[in-house]
Amino acid sequence: MSGEERWCVVTGGRGFAARHLVEMLIQYDLFSVRIADLEPQITLTTEEQNGVLGHALKSGRANYVSADLRDKPQVLKVIEGAEVVFHMAAPNSSVNSHQLHYAVNVQGTKNVIDACVELKVKRLIYTSSASVVFDGIHGIINGDESLPYTDKPLDSYSATKAEGEAAILKANGTNGLLTCSLRPSSIFGPGDRLFVPSLAAAARAGKSKVSLSVWMAIKVMLTSEFLLKTMLFMIGDGNNIYDFTYVENVAHAHICADRALASEQEVAEKAAGQAYFITNMEPIKFWEFTSLILEGLGYERPRIKIPAFAVMPIAQVIELIYKIFGPYGMKVPQLIPSRIRLLSCSRSFNCSKAKDRLGYAPIVPLEEGLKRTLESYPHLRVENQPKRVGQSKASICLGSGKGIVMAAELLKTLNNATGNIENRKHLCQTMYLDKKQTLITLLVLVAIYYNFIASQSTIVTAASKLLLVVSIFLFIHGNLPEKVFGYTIEKIPISYFILSEERSHQAALSVASSWNAAVNVLKSLCKGNDWSLFLKVVISLLILSFLGAIPFQTLFIIGLPVAFAAFYLYEKNEQAIDSMFLEALSLVCKMKSDITKKVAGSKKKD
Q: Contact 105/69 with Cβ under 8 angstroms?
A: no
- State which amino acid sits at residue 200: A
SS3 503: helix
CA-CA-CA-CA dihedral for 251, 254, 256, 261, to nearest 10? -170
> Residue 446: exposed, middle, or buried by beta-carbon count in 10 A (0-12, 13-18, 19+)?
exposed
Rounded-to-integer distance, Cα 234 and Cα 210, Å: 11
Q: Of 469, 461, 470, 451, give the one whose Cα is nearest residue 556.
A: 451
First CA to last CA distance, the chain:
73
Beta strands 483-484 and 233-235, pairing class: unpaired
Catalytic member of 110, 161, 219, 229? 161
Q: What is the DSSP string of 387-428?
A: PP-S--HHHHHTTTTHHHHHHHHHHHHHHH-SS-HHHHHHHH
Q: Of 249, 126, 245, give the one whose Cα is nearest residue 195.
A: 245
- State which amino acid sits at residue 224: S
Q: What is the DSSP string of 436-478?
A: HHHHHHHHHHHHHIIIIITT---HHHHHHHHHHHHHHHHHHHH
161: annotated active-site residue: yes
Residues annotated as catalytic (active site), given as ranges? 161
